[in-house]
Amino acid sequence: MNMDVKSCTEFVDNLIIKADKLVARQGTYEKRIDDLRDLHVQLPQLMRTLFPDADARIKDYRKSMHVATERDKEGSSEHVERAKVIRRYLDSVKGSLKLRETVEAQEVKLDKLESEVREKEVEAKRRKAVAETKVYGAEIELIDRLRAELKSYKSLSDELITIKGDIKEIKEMLGSLLLATLGT
């Protein structure tokens, strides 16, 4: 009996319906006895299937059934006390299944969130790499511009030196012309 939580819950709901009929004394006496036996067999099997601590649960169930059997004998209540015990244990199983279903749903949500976080981390790393690449590209472009400026400064510097040399030559020529015109 390897079922998912939803199937198990439906199965338990059907068993609860049977137990409720027993408590309400619906059906023939023979049918109620058969249903009681079926439930008495199915409940421990269900516990073994669903719970890792099934042995302790079954032991507790059997103790409760023993007490209920004694009450049934004393009051001649046509096995109603045992049906009530089975009904309480079925409610307990159903509650455990609901809890398990909630836990599984939370685990699915956590797995989904974990996956989204991993995707976002990968995207963040990618964006960081893109940003770094853009920064490096901008730095390289600045370096290229500075090199171009340095080259233009060097050529301007060379032109200034040439102009200074030309001005010096002109001054010398003007100085010698001035001396020559003054001397004559």
Asked whether 43 and 64 are in contact (CB, 8 A), the reply is: no
Q: Coil, strand, or helix at residue 125?
A: helix
What is the percent of the chain where pLDDT is above 90?
Answer: 49
Task: Say how far apart CA 171 and CA 52 lie, in whole Å.
Answer: 110
Residue 75: predicted pLDDT: 61
54-88 residue pLDDT tens: 899 999 999 988 888 887 776 656 678 888 999 99
DSSP 73-114: HHHT-TTHHHHHHHHHHHHHHHHHHHHHHHHHHHHHHHHHHH
Structural tokens at position 113: 């969130």
Residue 115: predicted pLDDT: 96
Q: Which residues of the chain have pLDDT under 50?
A: 1-2
Structural tokens at position 144: 């290229």
Structural tokens at position 93: 């199983």
Residue 2: predicted pLDDT: 46
User: How many CB atoms are closer than 10 A to CB 40?
Assistant: 17
Q: What count of Cα atoms within 13 Å lies in the side-chain half-sphere of residue 136?
A: 6
